[in-house]
Amino acid sequence: MVNLDAEKLVAARRAVEFVEDGQVVGLGTGSTAAHAIREIGRRVREGLQIVAIPTSLATEALARSLGIPLTNFDEHQKIDIAIDGADEIDSNLVAIKGGGGAFLREKIVAQAATRMICIIDSSKLVPQIGAAKLPIEVLPFAAGFVQAAVAAMGAQVSLRRKADGSLFATDQGNAVLDARFGLLSNPEALARKLTSIPGLLAHGLFLSEIDELITGRGDQAECLRRSA
Ligand code: 5RP
């Protein structure tokens, strides 16, 4: 039986090897990113000099607890290296992210990063994305309107709720819709249509933001670069 958490750790450790003194580092959200953040924390305690921009309040709290110096986009508008997980990704490095609900900030950090490394366990590398639900962040005022518009595009859409049944809210206080379109033959066209819906603030499709993929497979880290 594959130990997916061990594979996440393998991928995270390899990615953190690329972090260097003096860099601004983007910190992702989720269990795989948390492995990387703990590894960065270990290196900071050993003397690594970096500042980091977290993609969520949870990541900010973890980074603070590990003594990682934090910064923000008022201080630094460019990120040298960002490390984050994904829910599904294909070999063209097109991904679905946002299982943890942090995808709006994750997309900003990914786009600001010169080098965006996605780290995953081997179960997340798929021939075609779309089995995972596609998260969509919406202005609460527009949630019903956006849900109807996305459903009219052929998806099964639900408003994300927490385990206790209350509505999930992002760190920005917005709602999240989870959409199931099935396997995506044209993610670019879907992204364009989604972006045109007013009230829709972000979707979890990452088309071009990811530069490199590191997959933990057993105890090996497999690296894949976006082709030019
Ligand atoms: C959070 C994300 C995560 O990177 C994604 O959900 C993967 O999470 P995990 O590493 O816990 O499997 O996009 O918004």
Helix or strand (DSSP H, E) at 118? strand 113-121
Written as six digits, the tokens of 181 are 């379109």
Q: How far apart are CA 75 and CA 94, in angstroms?
A: 30
Q: What is the mean pLDDT of residues 188-210?
A: 98
Q: Which residue's alpha carbon is at the smallest distance from atom 7 of ligand 1? A: 86
Q: How far apart are CA 79 and CA 182, in angstroms?
A: 34
98 with 78, same domain: the answer is yes
199 with 213, same domain: the answer is no
Residue 84 lies in a domain: yes
pLDDT band at 147, cuts 50/70/90? very high
Residue 228 lies in a domain: no
Residue 105 lies in a domain: yes
Residue 205 has pLDDT above 90, yes or no: yes
Could you tell me the end-to-end alpha-carbon distance of the chain, in angstroms, rounded to an integer? 36
Residue 39 bears catalytic tag: no
Give just the sign of the alpha carbon dihedral 201, 203, 208, 214: positive
Q: How far apart are CA 206 and CA 203, in angstroms?
A: 8
Percent of the chain with pLDDT over 90: 98
Nearest to 184 by CA among 96, 120, 98, 124: 96
Q: What is the mean pLDDT of residues 35-60?
A: 98
Catalytic residue among 7, 60, 88, 106: 106
Residue 225 lies in a domain: no
pLDDT for res 211: 98
pLDDT for res 180: 98
Residue 60 lies in a domain: yes
Q: How far apart are CA 126 and CA 105, in angstroms?
A: 24
Q: What is the mean pLDDT of residues 45-57?
A: 98
pLDDT for res 227: 84
Q: What is the mean pLDDT of residues 63-72?
A: 98
Residue 129 lies in a domain: no
106 with 213, same domain: the answer is yes
Q: How far apart are CA 213 and CA 117, in angstroms?
A: 6
Residue 134 has pLDDT above 90, yes or no: yes
Q: Can you tell me whether residue 112 is helix, strand or coil?
A: helix
Residue 85 lies in a domain: yes
pLDDT for res 106: 98
116 with 185, same domain: the answer is no
150 with 212, same domain: the answer is no
Q: Is 30 in the pocket of ligand 1 (CB under 6 A)?
A: yes
Residue 128 lies in a domain: no
Contact call for residues 59 and 29 (beta carbons, < 8 A): yes
How many Å lie between the centroid of ligand 1 and the Cα of residue 76?
Answer: 24
Which CATH number do you get for residue 197? 3.30.70.260
98 with 174, same domain: the answer is no
Residue 67 has pLDDT above 80, yes or no: yes
pLDDT for res 190: 98
30 Rama sector, left if φ>0, alpha if ψ -120 to 50, beta otherwise: left
Q: How many domains is the chain partitioned into structurally?
A: 2
81 with 118, same domain: the answer is yes
Q: Which atom of ligand 1 is nearest to the CA of 29?
A: 1
Length of the chain: 228
pLDDT for res 1: 86
Which CATH number do you get for residue 78? 3.40.50.1360
Q: Is 216 in the pocket of ligand 1 (CB under 6 A)?
A: no
Q: Which domain holds residue 37?
A: 4-123+207-218
